[in-house]
Structure 1
Amino acid sequence: MAIVVGFVPRPEGHAALDRAIEEAKLRRVRLVVLNVSRGDALVDSRFASSSDWEAVKAKLEASGVEHEVAQTVEARDPADQLLRVAEETNAELIVIGLRRRTPVGKLIMGSAAQTVLLDADAPVLAVKAARD
C-alpha cells in the first residue's frame, strides 16, 4: 500500500505534498510523489524544474517518510499517469492540490483534478493552498 501525490511546483502542489507527508506518517505507508508532463516539458508550468525537484526530495528526506519520486514525460494525460501509478502501487489514498477559483471557475473544475476525482479507485484527498 502507498499514498500517491501529484506534485506541481505551485502553492497547491506544495500544499498537497505537505498533506501527503502527514498522511504517510499517520498511516505508516510509503509515499509516492509524481510530477508529470504530457511531453511539452519546456512550456509546461506543472513540470518541476531541477531545483524544485531537489527541494521536494530534500523535504521528503527530512520528513523521514519512506518514499519514492518519479518525474516522467509521457504522451498521455497527467491525470491518467497519476491514476496508473496509483493502480500500480495499490494506493490507499491519492492526494491532489486544487487551485482556488472564482465562482464561475468553480463550475468548471480543472480537467486533471476532475478526471482523478471521477476515475480513481482509491479515495482522493483534494487540498487547497493557504490563502495569502
Structure 2
Amino acid sequence: MALAQEDIAVIQDLIAKALSERPELGVANVRYELELRERIVRVEEELKHQRALMLEGFKQMEKRFEQIEKRFEQVDKRFEQIEKRFEQVDKRFELLTARIDRFMIWSFATTLTVGGLVVAAIRFLP
C-alpha cells in the first residue's frame, strides 16, 4: 500500500507543525539519537573486545592442539617400543615352545624306552 505524494506532504507538514509547537520534542529526539549513538559506540567497542578475546582463545586452542599432537607422537613412539617388546617376547615364546616340544619328545621316547626295557627285563628274568 504505497502512499501518494500528497499524503507524504501532509505527513511532513504535520510533523513540522508538531515540532514547531513543541520544541522539547525536537530536543528529546536529539537526546534520544545521542543516547543511541553512545550505545552504538559502546556496543562496537564491546564487539572489538569480544573479537580480541575470541582471537586469543583461538590462539590458545591452537597451542593446545599442538601440545596434544606432540603427546600423540610420544604415545605412538611408546606403542612402537611396546610392539618391539612384544615381538621379542613372541620370539622367546617360540623358542621356549620349541624347547618344550623337544623335551616332550625326548621324555616320551625315554619313557617308552625305559618301559620297554622294564617289560623285556620282566619277561626274560625269572
Please state which band the TM-score falls in when normalised by the shorter chain: under 0.3
Query: Which protein shows a greater Rg?
Result: 2
Which gives a bigger RCO, structure 1 or 2 (Cα 8 Å, sep 6+)?
A: 1
TM score, norm. by length of structure 1 = 0.16
Q: Normalized per residue, which structure has more strand? A: 1
TM score, norm. by length of structure 2 = 0.16
Q: Normalized per residue, which structure has more helix? A: 2
